[in-house]
Structure 1
Amino acid sequence: MISLKSLFIAVLLLSCTHLVNAQEYWQGQYNSKRLLLSKTVNTTMQDSLHLSSPENMYDSMPLAQDIVGDSLVLTNETFGKILKLNELYGDSIRVRFTDYGNTYNIKFRRVTGLQPLMFPQHPKGDLPYSIKEIEFKGEKTKLTYGGTLVIPKETKNYPLAFLLNGTGQQDRNYTYSGHQFFTVLADALARSGIASFRMDDRGIGGTTGDFQQATIEDFVMDLEDAKTHLKDQKYIDAEYMGIIGHSEGGVVASIASAKDKDLKFMVSLSGVGVNGLKILDLQNTAILKAYQIPDTTVVHQMDLFNNLFKTVYTNQNPDSLEAELNTTVKTWMHGKNQELLKAVQLADGRDQNLVYRFYSNAKSDAYQYMLHYEPQDFLPDIKIPVLAINGGSDILVPAEENLAGFKKYLTNSSDFSFKIYPGLNHMYQHCTTCTSEEIKTLDEVFAPEVLNDISKWIINNYNNHKE
């Protein structure tokens, strides 16, 4: 460790100070947000420093420089940013970053430019498996697909797991708040001797098509095209291919496994085991309670929401849906006192905002399909081994009720196992509040015990299949 005075010299006075506009970059990370400290070396004036953060949506924010005691302090008073540089270790700097009163201890590393978010579980260095980027054209959909195939070692054939992501347009790595959910899952599978394939959703990355117009049935066809292409790949055991589906991907897995006799196993991560109306009720109730909204308010809020869900469910004419939703809200509001309307965010004309937001989602084919989903239409037809798991603190797909649905309807599976993991959220991270907002503050990408259990279950079933 060098002195703070030397730190000041090392950071602000490059060895190339005779060059005009030479650049140096240091990057740090907190709460899934990147900070890029850049320095432009000048010969006629003091070197200029700027702070950028893509996730916070500011770029090249100027920083004033000062020495306070033995520390170098960089500030932008207008936006409440303070960086106190404390210690320099080789190519990294310890920084106390204050953002409008909130302080974070962050390690900045020297970089050549802005780098992707990185978490401890993201694989790096020399990996004991091969990674192949694949592009192919679907036989059924005629779309072009881009994906990543991971092979444990190029020495023999391996069981193959197709990784299916949850709701929303996702890239192949299933990236949320910088966490690469499927990259970490594929790494764990490969280390256990399981190949995997993950691909971009329609309209993103290497995959063509219109995601906004796609339904779950379309995603099933995407999977079928991927299976057709991958079964002839070298080092793949085409006799043992299966699915690992998360959340909505678990629904796709259930439908595909009920129809496709070539699939040999299914892992449901927070899959839906109740019908569409019920999951919306469970989900929204759990979310409201997670934000510590009073129980009496939750009861009223859910009464309103369930009336809206039923309006969408029974609607026969899409052109009249918005008007029907407006009538439902007006009818529910009738006779309610102002205090209650404020509590459920309907006072002062906010009812129109609710109708607009609700209609914007409800009119889509994907929403309509999920709303009318009935697990008993598919789960009884699944005959292959199934592992259904949930996080015990999942507020998007509550564990007890959804696993109960699997137990009720998955009557013909040759080997059905289930498990609830206490303290894990919807994305299988150890959590405290377990809200969606907390996800970005967590360094963990995927709980190791879940990764281990999934891998062991697949390998055990594969070995039984080979016997």
Structure 2
Amino acid sequence: MFVTLESGRIAGVNWVEHKGQQLHSRVVLTQSRIIDATIDLRPDGTASHSSVVLQAAGEEPGNPIVRDLGSGAAYWSDMITSSLEQMVRRARVLNKPDSKVETQNLYRDAPGEIEVERVDSTDWVVTANKKKYLVLTDDQGCMLAASLPEYGVVIERREKFGPEQYPLWPAYAAPPDGAYRAEEVSIPAPQGHVLAGTLTVPASGGPKFPAAVLITGLSPSERNGGAPPWMPLRDLADALTRAGVAVLRVDDRGIGKSTGDHKPSTTFDEADDVRTEVAWLRRR
């Protein structure tokens, strides 16, 4: 299994199991996004069929995405770390100093090509979407470690790492480590709609804390600023609350669990909502 670290912090875990020519891969990203993939492999490193189920922590799994991957492509997903190992295995079969590995997407019909450079028998450079991964393998092509230096990403192979070491974290809940509390809140607006959000409060200290309201951008947005695993506003709220700041983040009117209609709203209307949120937080 592989553990992905970003700036020293675990960003994802990929458990991998091989059963004959079938690969089972379970990925958990930022404790919030789950990818369960079953892939049929050929001896030459290409993939014939795949079935992928996506799920957000705390929610029901989606319907399986089942694909026929064709006859000559390896599977690739930059969210599935074991894809890197498959690129090297396919390049070993092609047996060239520089290989152009044909790839197929697990979610839609999107063929591609990834360059794999053999540095020596155990060192490789995999270039995908202009990102250069440095990959270390054993003599059989089994990936031992990898890195993406430009992004501060390090990938480690570990023999033992149980799911309990990387517990799931639903999108609006408090973190599993108990660093702070999270409360679902409803804020009535003078215009008649209700703004839904999450208030995070440090677990220790108080009774009063400095506080912040996170403001979304111009486009319609829910309180986390995106779907798992990319939730920048939750990440910001997490960092601030761990630093001792109470944080309120809110779905835009008419978005997520907030009522009202977002379509006719203007920047001035959104400013009114922010004023409502600040006033509510001050009363707390």
Q: Rg larger in 1 or in 2?
A: 1
Higher share in strand: 2
Higher share in helix: 1
